């Protein structure tokens, strides 16, 4: 299986850079040779080249190494040249996600891969999963790859997880059936943000949690989680916090949102923006299918 010996030499806060680099190298190996990704040797990530490469793409300073999910997604898209090919197939890339979103969608994805033939879709998919839930700030990034072994009559799906921390590397290789991912996690409907969602929004929330590994859906769930936390802690009452969340999640920062005099009107606007976005994502997903 893929290995990278880090011991205690991994640079501080390098896990996002390493995960993005590793997942693209594994994909290249999978395309070059059947099952080749499962036995390739990864680079020496104790060196700084991986960080320097990523910072050039992101235009970041070396000391500012902690990457959010959008930045990890940007690195993967750049390294795989997906950002240069608007029509590129990205079935293999499931996004940088929180573990609760990953676990919700994993059983369904495994069933789809197990039932598909090679002519129907790619039978290889990768994620970069954080070790903290969507309700938390985030900690370490973990590379997870699931693929069907070519040439194996049983077509057993295998998983490789590479856990990058500042001081250790943990590698797992076991059938998915033994990991225990089929338990139903609690669905978060963001009750602080959406106090009483209508049936359409409730349906959209359910669909989003079931498709949480799609990059656009994952980004939407992350936006809801952060706005929900802001409302719960009353941070949304601060103009600076609203401005920050609008910028991070591509929500137009209007005059209504900019003033503290119409806070409820501002939140009605934010909810509408998020509601319309998930409906658009869902519609576009149906059209693509």
What's the per-residue H, E or C state across the chain? CCECCCCCCCCCCCHHHHHHHHHHHHHHHHHHCCCHHHCCECCCCCCCHHHHHHHHHHCCCCCCCCCCHHHHHHHHHHHCCHHHCCCCCCCCEEEEECHHHHHHHHHHHHHHHHHCCCCCCCCEEEEEEECCCCCCCCCCEEEEEEEECCCCCCCCEEEEEEEECCCCEEEEEEEHHHCCCCCCCCCCCCCCCCCCCCHHHHHHHHHHHHCCCCHHHHHHHHHHHHHHHHHHCCHHHCHHHHHHHHHHCCCCCCHHHHCCCCHHHHHHHHHHHHHHHHHHHHHHHHHHC
pTM equals 0.54
Residue (of 269, 19, 278) closest to 139 by Cα position = 19
Q: What is the pLDDT of residue 57?
A: 92
**Residue 201 CB neighbours (<10 A):** 17
Residues of the chain short of pLDDT 70, as ranges, are 1-9, 34, 85-91, 112-123, 148-188, 286-289
**For position 165, what pLDDT does the model report?**
35
Q: Are the C-beta atoms of 106 and 125 separated by less than 8 Å? A: no
* Structure confidence at residue 277 (pLDDT): 94
* pLDDT tens column, 89-110: 556 777 788 888 888 777 777 7
Q: Counting Cβ atoms within 10 Å, is residue 120 exposed (0-12), middle (13-18) or buried (19+)?
A: exposed
Q: How many CB atoms within 10 Å of residue 134?
A: 24
Question: CA 148, CA 233: separation in Å to the nearest integer?
Answer: 44
State residue 164's pLDDT score: 39
Q: What is the pLDDT of residue 264?
A: 92
User: What is the reported pLDDT for 287?
Assistant: 52
d(CA 164, CA 176): 20
């Amino acid at each position: 299986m893929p290995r990278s010996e880090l011991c205690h030499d991994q640079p501080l806060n390098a896990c996002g850079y390493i995960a993005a680099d590793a997942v693209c190298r594994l994909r290249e190996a999978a395309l070059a040779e059947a099952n080749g990704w499962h036995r390739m040797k990864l680079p020496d990530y104790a060196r700084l080249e991986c960080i320097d490469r990523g910072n050039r793409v992101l235009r970041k300073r070396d000391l500012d190494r902690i990457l959010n999910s959008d930045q990890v997604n940007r690195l993967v898209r750049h390294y795989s040249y997906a950002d240069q090919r608007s029509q590129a197939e990205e079935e293999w890339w499931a996004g940088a996600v929180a573990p609760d979103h990953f676990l919700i969608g994993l059983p369904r994805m495994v069933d789809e891969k197990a039932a598909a033939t090679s002519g129907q879709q790619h039978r290889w998919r990768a994620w970069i999963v954080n070790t903290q839930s969507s309700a938390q700030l985030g900690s370490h990034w973990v590379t997870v790859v699931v693929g069907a072994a070519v040439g194996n009559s049983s077509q057993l799906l295998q998983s490789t997880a590479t856990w990058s921390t500042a001081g250790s590397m943990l590698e797992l290789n076991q059938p998915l059936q033994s990991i225990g991912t089929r338990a139903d996690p609690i669905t978060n409907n963001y009750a602080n943000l959406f106090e009483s969602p209508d049936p359409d929004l409730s349906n959209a929330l359910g669909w989003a949690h079931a498709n949480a590994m799609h990059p656009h859906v994952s980004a939407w769930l992350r936006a809801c989680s952060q706005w929900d936390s802001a409302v719960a802690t009353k941070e949304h009452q601060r103009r600076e916090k609203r401005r920050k969340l609008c910028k991070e999640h591509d929500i137009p920062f209007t005059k209504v949102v900019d003033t503290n005099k119409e806070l409820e009107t501002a939140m009605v606007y934010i909810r509408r923006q998020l509601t319309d976005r998930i409906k658009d994502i869902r519609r576009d997903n149906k059209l693509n299918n």
